[in-house]
Structure 1
Amino acid sequence: MKLDYELYAKIFKSLSDQSRLKIIDILSCGEKCACDLLEDFDFTQPTLSHHMKVLMDCKIVKCRKEGIWSYYSLDKNSTDKLELFLMNIITDTEDCICKNSNQCEI
């Protein structure tokens, strides 16, 4: 399996902000309106919009509009792939990169 290190590096970079990690944690409980998310932070709506854009660009979060409100949720497909990627790179498997390139001591 070929791993897209560049893609996942971008995702991990987006998750390296503590506010974004907190947003992910909140959204793990289910969909939230932007107005509800703001109650958990001491920043403005434009700052929340910036954080959400970063997370949506990485496809970790998805958005749906209802009238003037934006509702955010985790993109389950993308978060599952992220979880698998992380498990793959921290687990010694038969297709481990080091076994294919003689980088590991066996």
Structure 2
Amino acid sequence: MPTTTLPLTAMSSAACCVGEACGPITREPISAVGAADLAGVLKALADPVRLRLVSMIAAHEGGEACVCDLTEPLGLTQPTVSHHLKVLMEAGFLTRSKRGTWAYYALVPGALDAIARTLATV
């Protein structure tokens, strides 16, 4: 069962060092590049459907969910759900593994913690 993880360019910047500043953005002013990187990552979460998807996947049994498990609770079509999942994957929040014709998604360990640390006030 192969797992696909896209390059975490935006997420890596947010998780480790935002632009030239490491750690919380409140420690020192964020650079223009760092702000653009972080904004791109936050934009992926700044959608009610995507927030619900992250929550649903994280809370799902085993910490992963098939697209087929997500469409009905959201009341959306499979292509729409897949689009939102792709955005979350590209931002570095999810991984994908293919099993037969179905794709299963799981939260990247520490991805949300990295965002929380970046936005922390301490």
Count of aligned pairs: 89
Relative contact order, higher structure (CA 8 A, sep 6+)? 2
TM-score using structure 1 length: 0.76
1:45 equivalent to 2:78? Answer: yes
Counterpart of 1:67 in structure 2 is 100
Q: 1:83, CA displacement in angstroms? A: 1.9
TM-score using structure 2 length: 0.67
Q: RMSD across aligned C-alpha pairs, in angstroms?
A: 1.5
Gaps of 5+ in 1: 94-106
Counterpart of 1:76 in structure 2 is 109
Give, as a single letter, the amino acid of the residue that structure 1 aligns with 2:104: Y
Q: How does 1:1-106 map to 2 (within 5 A)?
A: 2-3=21-22, 4-29=34-59, 30-87=63-120, 91=121, 93=122
Q: List per-residue Cα deviations over 1:38-76 (Å, max 9, x = no partner).
A: 121111111011101110010111111111110001111
SS of corresponding position for 2:105: strand
Gaps of 5+ in 2: 1-16, 23-33
Larger C-alpha radius of gyration, 1 or 2? 1
Counterpart of 2:31 in structure 1 is none
Q: Which has the higher strand share?
A: 2
Determine the C-alpha separation between the residues in 2 that align with 1:76 and 1:5: 23
